[in-house]
Structures are given as structure tokens and as C-alpha cells.
């Protein structure tokens, strides 16, 4: 199965949609992508590079959206989340405007650039904004589907796009049902052990599950959570089938685990929850994403060890 660049998957679909819908406009904070150049070349009157001025970009987007446009704004994760949190809250979400934030650089994508560029706080921050849907790409097909979801929603969306080249998952659900649910069963073996992950870590989780089956004759189910907010209540019903839950998120502190723990306690679900995240430490290491994943123990080997040790308790 061939791999596809996640940014290209998103922008190629956006170009297709924009050819049919003249309301679609793209704003960039001086950040590019190969497929985005196609948009600029074909529709130069609907593409604007506002420069390194993300707060201004959100204000411009809000103005365009209030005049009937469907706006997509694009930039590196910390700069289109933390830096513009006030503008997203008041200019966009409070007005319920169709502004879609395309955020690239989740987790340790830009690992060598240090904490200024690492996307480890954006989900927690954007989660505080009422009415903001948060989507997180995990494979090319779901990333393309985000474009249509955003256009049809008519409301604010925060869309995290992986920079990696990834393969499509084999889902238990159809793509249509997966988009309605906000999650996908990407490994379903009727196990009593479940991993819930998102983004690139869902690919890691899938490999971890395969390792357990092939080397230890133990089945692990894996759910890819591609809509982090709001979480569909159907997911809570799924939890009743399991004894152990491992939540993986490339963040300082897992927002997903916190949300699930609240529901588990409120609904009295009997399940042991374990969280694997990036921990509460800034990382200035001049290392790639794989190397830093090992440092924070979000690599495949450590995840396997954590699961094994947790089940022994």
C-alpha cells in the first residue's frame, strides 16, 4: 500500500472543492505546502499570504467569513493555536463563523526547533473554546474527508494535519460512519485491552497491537480518535467491553485521557485507564521526532513495556 503526504491529501481535496465553490478562500501565515501551491496558481484571487502575522490573519478570516466566505487559515501549530487563542475565541467561535484552522506540526513534528515550534499544548488550549470542533489527521483518506466536513459544517473547526507520509487504515467502519462517529476501529479482535490514540500515534498503536499478536499471542484493539472534540458518546459505550484502556497522545498532558477519565468516573465504567503522553518537561534536544519519542517514552518499544507491566499489576 502506497503512502501519501498528509498535507497534500488535504490541499488536493481543498483545490477540488474550491473549483466548485467560489466561497472558499485560503489565508497563509507565510507557510507553504506543495499541494497548496496548486491552489495559489489556479485561484490567485482567493489565496492570500498575510505574512508572519497570525493574529491579524484570524481577524481577516473572521471578516471574510462574516461576509459569506468559507475560510481556511494555515500555519504552524503553536502559532495558529496558542498565539491566536483570543482571536479564535472572540472573533471566530463566539460569532460561530465558518473559519477553519489548518494546523501543521502536531506533537514533535518540528522537534529540532524546540518548544517554540512543538505542538504539545494546542489541543488542550483550543479545547477550552466553546463550539470549536477539533480534528486530528491519522491517515490520508480521513484527512481528505476533513475538507468536506469543514465546508458542510458552517462552523469553526481546528484541523491538525500531520506532516508525515502515511498509509490508509483498514477500518471496521465505512468512511461515512467513521466521520459521523469521530473515531475508527482500526484493529478489532474482541480483546479486553484497548488502545485509544490519535494522529501519528495511531499508526504506532497499530504496530504495537500487531507485535502483541505476533510475538505474545495477545490481542489488543485499537481505536483511532480523529475527532478529539466533541467526543461521540458512542465511544463511552465501547469502553464497557474492556478491562484495560491505554490512551496515547503526543502532548504535555493528554486532553483525551482527562476527558475519558471524567466520563468513566461519571458513568461508573469499570476499566483501568493508563496514560502515555510527553510529560511535563520542555524539550530543547537537537533530535528528530523518532529520537525525542524515545526520550519521552512514546516509542513503540516503551509502549509495549508499559502495557506489559501495567497488566501485571
**Of 204, 74, 194, whose CA–CA distance to 139 is shortest?**
204
Q: How far apart are CA 132 and CA 264, in angstroms?
A: 23
Q: For 35-45, how does the pLDDT look when each residue is reduced to its tens digit (9 = 90+)? A: 788 999 999 99
Q: Does domain 175-312 have CATH number 3.40.50.920?
A: yes
The predicted structure's pLDDT at residue 14: 97
Strands 244-248 and 272-276: parallel
- Nine-digit cell string for 26: 485560503
**Fold assignment, 4-166:** Rossmann fold (3.40.50)
- Alpha carbon separation from 239 to 97, 193, 261, 306 (Å, rounded): 34, 10, 11, 20
As beta bridge partners, residue 134 has 158, 229
**Of 312, 245, 306, 311, whose CA–CA distance to 273 is shortest?**
245
Buried b (16+ CB within 10 A) or exposed e, 236-254: eebbeebebbbbbbbbbbb
The predicted structure's pLDDT at residue 185: 97
Strands 133-136 and 227-229: antiparallel
Mean pLDDT of 261-274: 94
The predicted structure's pLDDT at residue 60: 98
In 3-state terms, what secondary structure has residue 298? Answer: coil
**What residue segments make up the domains of the chain, in order of their start?**
4-166, 175-312
The predicted structure's pLDDT at residue 30: 82
Mean pLDDT of 275-304: 93
- Residues 6 or more apart whose CB falls under 8 angstroms from that of 190 comprise 219, 221
Task: Judge whether residue 243 has pLDDT over 70.
Answer: yes
- Nine-digit cell string for 3: 503512502
pTM metric for this prediction:
0.96
Task: Judge whether residue 169 has pLDDT over 90.
Answer: yes
The predicted structure's pLDDT at residue 286: 81
Q: For 133-156, how does the pLDDT look when each residue is reduced to its tens digit (9 = 90+)? A: 999 999 999 999 999 999 999 999
Task: Judge whether residue 265 has pLDDT over 90.
Answer: yes
Mean pLDDT of 174-202: 96
The predicted structure's pLDDT at residue 1: 55
Decide if 4-166 and 175-312 have a common fold. yes
Residue 277 pLDDT class (50, 70, 90 cuts): very high
Q: For 18-71, how does the pLDDT look when each residue is reduced to its tens digit (9 = 90+)? A: 999 999 999 999 877 777 889 999 999 999 999 999 999 999 999 999 999 999
Q: How far apart are CA 129 and CA 260, in angstroms?
A: 18
**Of 260, 264, 204, whose CA–CA distance to 229 is shortest?**
260
The predicted structure's pLDDT at residue 163: 87
Amino acid at each position: 500500500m502506497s503512502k501519501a503526504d498528509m498535507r497534500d491529501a488535504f490541499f488536493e481535496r481543498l483545490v477540488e472543492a474550491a473549483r466548485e465553490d467560489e466561497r472558499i478562500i485560503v489565508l497563509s501565515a507565510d507557510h507553504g505546502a506543495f499541494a497548496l501551491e496548486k491552489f495559489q496558481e489556479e485561484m490567485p484571487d482567493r489565496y492570500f499570504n498575510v505574512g508572519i502575522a497570525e493574529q491579524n490573519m484570524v481577524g481577516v478570516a473572521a471578516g471574510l467569513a462574516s461576509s459569506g466566505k468559507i475560510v481556511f487559515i494555515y500555519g504552524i501549530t503553536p502559532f495558529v493555536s496558542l498565539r491566536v487563542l483570543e482571536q479564535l475565541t472572540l472573533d471566530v467561535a463566539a460569532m460561530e463563523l465558518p473559519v477553519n484552522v489548518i494546523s501543521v506540526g502536531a506533537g514533535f513534528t518540528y522537534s529540532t526547533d524546540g518548544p517554540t515550534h512543538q505542538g504539545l499544548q494546542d489541543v488542550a488550549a483550543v479545547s477550552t473554546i466553546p463550539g470549536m470542533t477539533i480534528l486530528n489527521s491519522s491517515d490520508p483518506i480521513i484527512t481528505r474527508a476533513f475538507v468536506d466536513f469543514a465546508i458542510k459544517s458552517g462552523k469553526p473547526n481546528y484541523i491538525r494535519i500531520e506532516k508525515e507520509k502515511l498509509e490508509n487504515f483498514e477500518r471496521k467502519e465505512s468512511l461515512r460512519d467513521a466521520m459521523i462517529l469521530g473515531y475508527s476501529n482500526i484493529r478489532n479482535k474482541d480483546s479486553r485491552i484497548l488502545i485509544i490514540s490519535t494522529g501519528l500515534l495511531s499508526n504506532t498503536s497499530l504496530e504495537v497491537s500487531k507485535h502483541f499478536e505476533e510475538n505474545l499471542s495477545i490481542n489488543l484493539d485499537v481505536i483511532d480518535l480523529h475527532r478529539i472534540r466533541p467526543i461521540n458518546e458512542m465511544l463511552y459505550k465501547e469502553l464497557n467491553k474492556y478491562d484495560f484502556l491505554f490512551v496515547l497522545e503526543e502532548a504535555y498532558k493528554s486532553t483525551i485521557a482527562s476527558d475519558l477519565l471524567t466520563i468513566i468516573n461519571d458513568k461508573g465504567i469499570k476499566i483501568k485507564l493508563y496514560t502515555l503522553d510527553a510529560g511535563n518537561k520542555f524539550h530543547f534536544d537537537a533530535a528528530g521526532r523518532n529520537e525525542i519519542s524515545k526520550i519521552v517514552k512514546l516509542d513503540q518499544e516503551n509502549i509495549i513495556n508499559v502495557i506489559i507491566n501495567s497488566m501485571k499489576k
